Structure 1
Amino acid sequence: MDKTLVKTLQDLIVQSAACYGEKTFLKEKAGKEDAETTYVQLYDNCRKVSSFLQKSANGKKLHAAVIGLTSAAYLTAYFGTVGGGNVIVPLDAQMGVDDLCDHLQRSDAEVFFFDARYAPMLPAVRKNCPAIHTYVSLQEMPDVLSLAQVLAENEPMEWTPIDPASCAAILYTSGTTGKSKGVMLSHSNLIDNTMCQDNESTPEDVLLTVLPIHHVYCFTCDILLSLRYGTTVCVNDSMMHIAQNLKRYQPTLILLVPMIAETIYKKIQAAAAAKPDIPIQAIANAVFGGKLRGIYSGGAYLNPKLIEGYRALGIPIAQGYGMTECSPRISTANLEDESIGDIGTIVNGCEVKIVDGEIWAKSPSVMMGYYHNPEATAEALTEDGWLRTGDLGYVDEKRHLFLTGRKKNLIILSNGENVSPEELENKFAGLDWLSEVLVYAENSMITAEIFPNTEFCEAYGIDEMKRLLQEQVLEINKTVSSAKQIHCLRIRNVEFDKTTSKKIKREQSQQGAIFQ
């Protein structure tokens, strides 16, 4: 694809259809078989949705929300909306009815595309969101207009050019503190992030998509990049089925978050222990379907030991870094880069500088601002376009980016010392007997609060877990300055509260016995 011809998401759909035609873009389960959508079919169906929306709004531009799992229907609603010059609002598939209504109201949505599983929420949505005049189910269901009907009753619309600087999407963050903010991303934001690197995939590649589609990490790196390179995307229909889907679709590439990567790695290790006569590399190869050439990781800290473990299996795993406000990539993974400890190389066209320890980024991928929230926009963006990421880190001479923590999470002790809790939390990564950890200051003492692995505790007892925890803390304290040493331990009897993206909410009451 000639990337100079692509300035908007509309252009991307048009060019992908022209370049890849009848090639399969998406595979998804339909009973025992796979339903396939070609690049041309996606283009035609998106223009039918655009035609429908134009009629629904009497030719005016509108905001349409969509909620559901990755599917051809979801992507048709998404690209049909933005292709016609409207704004899409992808919503978190895990949110409850109150949050759903809140996001629909705050985004000024007038059309609501929804997965049929959300039908029980419709009465509350109809009551609380009077601005929504059109409801479309992504699957067929009684008494509700379905996407299939929309496609059957509308002809493909002839798209007119879109201003690249216009808003394409409003994505609500799921922050660990405070109310979610609506990140406005323009067409040019998303296209810049899609086109900023080269040679990341090929038409011969097969990608298994497992991450939530409403996250820009999944949407840009799984969907938009695949449209650019002509990759076939296969849908993992459930995390419960990931093992069988790896064998079913035999991906060459996969994007994961560290938690999933670690879970699969542990299963490979367990299988190898049960079958010592089979080389572990052969077991790993079979687990991933036999054709995997690499794993990309993002969204959270990736333990260097896990990187080394996968490389020993013959599987390169590399991580990148970004945020919704940057569409999302600030640094990107490289499967051929054998460095460990960094979070990737800064992408082309992006400037990064460190201001008082904080990472600032400036690029064409940086958001337009927060929807209806000028105060938050002013806090995040400088007048000359720098994005204050809120993350702490540094850059080396090779443009490798390193992350050390979150600015707002910094622990400031009475002696003036600044301590990054993430730096200490990461030192607990990869321990079989520990499930979750949170580090904070309590009475001016650095405290580590953990939720143990319940299976381990059942098998070996809480006393053994305490012994291992104390040993681990002693080892950690040897590696840090006296100001950063952990002096207090707390064990929880319940999991930490989390956001829908599975990040621990840092501001919550302690619920566990304490020992020092």
Structure 2
Amino acid sequence: MQTLLDLFHTFPPRGDRCALVFRTGVRRLSLSYRELADLSLRMNRWLAAQGVGAGDRVVLWGPNSPWWVVAFWGLAARGAVVVPVDFMSGRERAETIARLTDARLVIQSRFKGERLTGWSTVMLEELPYLLAETPPLADTATPNPDDTAQLIYTSGTTGNPKGVILTHRNLMANLLQVNRHIPVVTERFRFLSLLPLSHMFEQMGGFFTPLFRGSAIVYLRTLKPSAIMEALGEEDVYAVIAVPRLLQLLQNSIVRELAARHLEKPVGWLLERSARLSPGTRKRLFFPIQRKFGSHFTLFVSGGAPLDPAVFRFWSGLGFTVVEGYGLTECAPVLTANTMERQLVGSVGVPLPGVEIRLEDRQVLARGENVFPGYYGNDDATRAAFTQDGWFRTGDLGELDGEGWLHIRGREKELIVTGAGINVYPDEVEGVLGRVKGVGEGCVIGLDRGGGEEVHAVLILDGSGRPADEIVREANAGLDTLHQITGFSLWPEAEFPKTTTLKVRKFLVKEKLQQGRGVTGGVAADLLVALIARATGAPPAEIREESLLVTDLGLTSIGRLELVNSLEQEFRLDLEDSLIGPQTRVSDLRTIVARREKVESRDRFRFWPNRPWGRLIRMACDFLIHRPLLACFVRLRVEGGERLAGLDGPVLFAANHLSYFDQPTIMSALPGSLRYRTATAVWAEFFFQNFRNIFQQLWKRSTYEYGTIALNLFPLPQTRGFRSSLRFMGRLADHGVNLLVFPEGERSKDGSLLPFKQGLGIMVQELEMPVVPVRIRGLEYVYPRGALWPKRGDVMVTFGEPLRFRGEGAEEIVAATRRAIEEL
């Protein structure tokens, strides 16, 4: 196996085995190996139609998803050179890379507010529709092992990105090296992908390796702690490729949960004593935490930056296996790693089979088939990267212990040399600083104020109110006198500027401090304003701290959902769109971001009525109560029922709203195969807010309880966020349950259509379901709004042709659905 195409050709024989899972936060979608191969070959033909050929560079700028994967393998099948760009990169960087590589095509995402123009382009989200109409092209490229497969521009912490040429030989060599060194992965494994696919660490560990072994990969749309823990609990995950910062975020999430249950101290006491126990005993001791990760969770693989020994001990103490490795993009990327049999704290392990490591003036040098041939269009940088005898200069400082295990001491360019000539490794100081209470995040840089560099800490406080000088004093108490912090600054932003692997871009931090901008203003403030402006359409200059998001800035229900999604993606927060109400100001939102407050949904949903025995209960209720009662008042006629015969998969029924009898009438009109596999959204405020006294409250609550069981109702709010309802709808759809909604949101008095709620558009976009328009006539006379008792009459229910949308905007979806119901 010498090229990516050799790996690709192993996909079709694996057939229906699951290859990819995509959790959007609303839906769970999956692709088999056969489907992945077929879609990639369709992508191959589509690319050929766009004039993309062997050797052409194509920029791939989008978030992790199955469609990123399909695009990648389609490009590989075409023989094109993939140029991945980190999704979090700004437009300027993406434009620079597209220009430097003379890109033939740009594949980008509608989830990015900034778009590239001036190149032939396609949206990742359009691929499902484009490829559905494109036949596969089985004639694939036959690259040589030394042909360029990818060009990866390092984000770097030094501000000097370079285009790394990676050949098919480099990638396949490292793939085989990794799998010989850690031969634990089997086809049963399921990987949770949390790092960007634009980064080689994720590609090699969480992309090529699973596909090489026939394993499955789980992708998340939003990388927030609750989504990660949810996926770990539901997807039977075996392995996670992680960077130290991510492991620390997960650790903080667990510690916060323990603290909320007053278990932090007893668990901490057990952790201190668990090091002496065997891994199996530790797993059993901490079973309540272990089970959150699933019954088969096997290991974390850590890389991209040095792992703090305290973080390693936390996870190891809980009984988890953490295998730390080391490498660089230029090495495709792995050079050394610990093993499943032995994990040495503070060490990045031993060289992989076929990799050679040596030290020269403390700098780590490497050699092997996985090492790249050079930088794209930059001969000077290529010459500087290699010694005369062909060893690659990593730029990292390291030590080899007596057993040949490598210990990384930091980047050569980040080494702090104090005025006293003492070498200080920032990573070691940061490890101590990060364990001090009151620190949200910190980094250490060398600042030269005329007498040599001094050790300077830059802090983001956690909001507890602990003074920074007290924090620094405690940190210094744990440091050698010659390595202590001599100065500090407070960083005013919610996050440090970071690379793809969440390493702090210290050169940017240092630049801002030297320019005197390290104590006021900042990117986070600008970013929050930019996100609010994008969601509301308000000019950034008009957005002030005291502005009310809804009243002053015109934030709609669609904008509210978009804003919360953007905040979660940018700041990795756990939020509910219900946190934004009529009285929420910009300053309130900034406080939530700064404190990383988590706002939980209070909605309660029942899924069990959609289980087989729940459907039996509804059948019994229909037979004994609902249908006899409805027949007393409604003479029902159905039109368009034949249009439901060919429905494949769940659909969303969208109906006009006339009466309290709408739901049972539509259910009676549906064939039995659909009737008991359909759930109905109801106005949440009617049941939980709109009551005048305790008796009305009890009546409405008891009605709701009955409705959720006997009619399969679930709440959908109108005056606050509905994202929790949307997630529940996605779960229903994933289990083949249809949905019934009334987009008007209230009953019409005379049968004419009222304006539709714009949330319908969001539902259709997120659920990716066909919409079946439904028109009811006659119930406005049988049981009109305001009537105390129904009267008998004729009612007609008409079903329209299913509407299938292909990436239209929310407003277009709403308009098209309303038009279809009007025309019935």
Residue matched to 1:232: 216
Residue matched to 1:91: 85
Matched, 1:50 2:31: no
Secondary structure of residue in 1 paired with 2:344: coil
Pairing 1:163-202 to 2, within 5 Å after superposition: 163-196=144-177, 197-198=179-180, 199-202=183-186
Instruction: For 1:474 and 1:108, locate their aligned partners in 2 and report how far apart those are by CA, in whole Å.
Output: 54
The Cα of 1:317 is off from its aligned counterpart by 1.3
Instruction: For 2:340 and 2:435, locate their aligned partners in 1 and report how far apart those are by CA, in whole Å.
Output: 22
Residue matched to 2:472: 469
The Cα of 1:415 is off from its aligned counterpart by 5.3
Matched, 1:138 2:124: yes
AA partner of residue 2 (structure 2): K
Residue matched to 1:15: 10
Residue matched to 1:121: 114
Relative to 1, partners in 2 of residues 1:47 and 1:380: Cα closer, same or farther, differing over 3 Å?
same
| Residue number among 308, 312, 323 corresponding to 1:303 in the alignment | 308
Instruction: For 1:160 and 1:81, locate their aligned partners in 2 and report how far apart those are by CA, in whole Å.
Output: 10
The Cα of 1:22 is off from its aligned counterpart by 1.9
Instruction: For 1:175 and 1:160, locate their aligned partners in 2 and report how far apart those are by CA, in whole Å.
Output: 32
Matched, 1:424 2:426: no
Instruction: For 2:25 and 2:420, locate their aligned partners in 1 and report how far apart those are by CA, in whole Å.
Output: 63
Residue matched to 1:455: 463
AA partner of residue 237 (structure 2): P
Matched, 1:203 2:196: no
Residue matched to 1:444: 452
Contiguous gaps of at least 5 residues in structure 1: 1-5, 141-145
Residue matched to 1:248: 234
Larger deviation, residues 79-88 vs 353-362: 79-88
Could you report, residue by residue, the CA deviation over 1:488-513 in whole angstroms, capped at 9, with x for unpaired residues?
A: 12131424752342323233243668
- For the aligned residues, what is the CA RMSD? 2.4
Residue matched to 1:329: 334
Relative to 1, partners in 2 of residues 1:60 and 1:174: Cα closer, same or farther, differing over 3 Å?
closer
User: Percent of aligned positions with the same letter in both sequences?
Assistant: 24
Secondary structure of residue in 2 paired with 1:49: helix
The Cα of 1:330 is off from its aligned counterpart by 0.7
TM-score by length of 2: 0.56
Instruction: For 2:144 and 2:478, locate their aligned partners in 1 and report how far apart those are by CA, in whole Å.
Output: 56
Matched, 1:266 2:252: yes
| Residue number among 471, 488, 491 corresponding to 1:490 in the alignment | 488
AA partner of residue 381 (structure 2): A
Pairing 1:324-473 to 2, within 5 Å after superposition: 324-414=329-419, 416-434=421-439, 435-442=441-448, 443-444=451-452, 446-457=454-465, 461-462=466-467, 465-473=468-476
AA partner of residue 9 (structure 2): V
AA partner of residue 444 (structure 1): G
| Residue number among 295, 310, 319 corresponding to 2:324 in the alignment | 319
Residue matched to 1:24: 18
Residue matched to 1:143: none
State which structure, 1 or 2, has the greater radius of gyration over its C-alpha atoms: 2
Matched, 1:35 2:34: no
2:417 touches 2:453 (CA, 8 Å); kept in 1?
A: no
1:448 touches 1:486 (CA, 8 Å); kept in 2?
A: no
2:416 touches 2:445 (CA, 8 Å); kept in 1?
A: no
Residue matched to 1:3: none
Relative to 1, partners in 2 of residues 1:30 and 1:306: Cα closer, same or farther, differing over 3 Å?
closer
Instruction: For 1:292 and 1:373, locate their aligned partners in 2 and report how far apart those are by CA, in whole Å.
Output: 43
Relative to 1, partners in 2 of residues 1:504 and 1:72: Cα closer, same or farther, differing over 3 Å?
same
Contiguous gaps of at least 5 residues in structure 2: 268-283, 520-824
Instruction: For 2:46 and 2:296, locate their aligned partners in 1 and report how far apart those are by CA, in whole Å.
Output: 41
Instruction: For 2:430 and 2:421, locate their aligned partners in 1 and report how far apart those are by CA, in whole Å.
Output: 21
Relative to 1, partners in 2 of residues 1:304 and 1:493: Cα closer, same or farther, differing over 3 Å?
closer
Q: Which has the higher contact order (CA 8 A, sep 6+)?
A: 1
Residue matched to 2:664: none
Could you report, residue by residue, the CA deviation over 1:423-442 in whole angstroms, capped at 9, with x for unpaired residues?
A: 33333233332211213143
Pairing 1:261-300 to 2, within 5 Å after superposition: 261-273=247-259, 274=261, 276=263, 281-300=286-305
Could you report, residue by residue, the CA deviation over 1:228-261 in whole angstroms, capped at 9, with x for unpaired residues?
A: 1111111122122212222121311111111221
Q: What count of residue pairs does the alignment treat as equivalent?
A: 484
The Cα of 1:390 is off from its aligned counterpart by 0.2
